[in-house]
Amino acid sequence: MTNDIARYLPPLASADSTQPLPSSVARALRQAEQDDHPDVPWRPPAVLPSKDALEAARALLTPEPADDRTIASCMAAMVIAFEPNTRLSAEATRLRMEVWRQATADLGSALWEEATEVALRSLKWMPRPAEFRDLVRRKLEARLLRLRRCEQMLAAHARREEAPVPRPSTTREQRLAELIAVYRKHNRPADVERLQRDLDALQRKAQA
């Protein structure tokens, strides 16, 4: 297997979750992590990051599956370190690569490389795919949680855009003036006089 995989070139840099998120989204996510409590449902902040920033963050938090070049290079490093005497046919090597690719499809190239570095530093034998995933499980779960928060904030944007525009609130003086006009129209002088006294008192108080 070593000879079949090591012939691949080193992995190319990939645009994935290692890139910094837009600052407004990063601040909102940091606050969400500070506020997180298992018994209290999280709610989007009153002031949301822009939709463009959230869309960019969602793309960064949804990396493409690790490419064949990255998987092959990482697998070669682990085989050299843990199974130096292993010799597999080309078909067996292909099948092994396919099993690993399917089992780690959501990691992306960056987490694949990080898990490989951790494995080489801390393990004594070749990990199985599930064990390999465990090496970066906390980062994977954190990424998925941030992705879910971004989607919740985008959903909040959509709800706020669909919500009816609230009517501007009126002051008590305005409401009294409207009532006085109604009572005058219906020839109710006593009510007009009573409300006018109240309105005059409010206006004097506001000017004092």
Which pLDDT tens digit goes with each residue over 88-145?
A: 888 998 999 999 999 998 898 999 999 999 999 999 999 999 999 999 999 999 999 9
Q: Residue 16: pLDDT above 70?
A: no
Q: What is the pLDDT of residue 192?
A: 87
> Which residues sit opposite 40 in a β-bridge?
37
Q: Residue 2: pLDDT above 50?
A: no
Question: Could you give the percent of the chain with pLDDT greater than 70?
Answer: 88
Q: What is the pLDDT of residue 182?
A: 84
Q: Residue 1: pLDDT above 70?
A: no
Q: Quick: pLDDT tens for 152-163.
A: 999 999 988 887
> Which residues sit opposite 37 in a β-bridge?
40
For 151, residues 6+ apart whose C-beta sits below 8 A from its C-beta are 58
Three-class secondary structure of residue 183 per DSSP: helix
All structural domains of the chain with their residue ranges: 2-162, 172-207
**Burial profile 124-150: b = 16 or more Cβ within 10 angstroms, e = fewer:** eeebeeeebbebbeeebeebebbbebb
Q: For residue 13, what pLDDT band results from cuts at 50, 70 and 90?
A: very low
Q: What is the pLDDT of residue 35?
A: 79
Three-class secondary structure of residue 61 per DSSP: coil
Within the chain, where are the H helices? Answer: 2-6, 23-35, 51-60, 68-82, 90-103, 108-122, 129-134, 137-162, 172-185, 189-207
Q: What is the pLDDT of residue 169?
A: 63
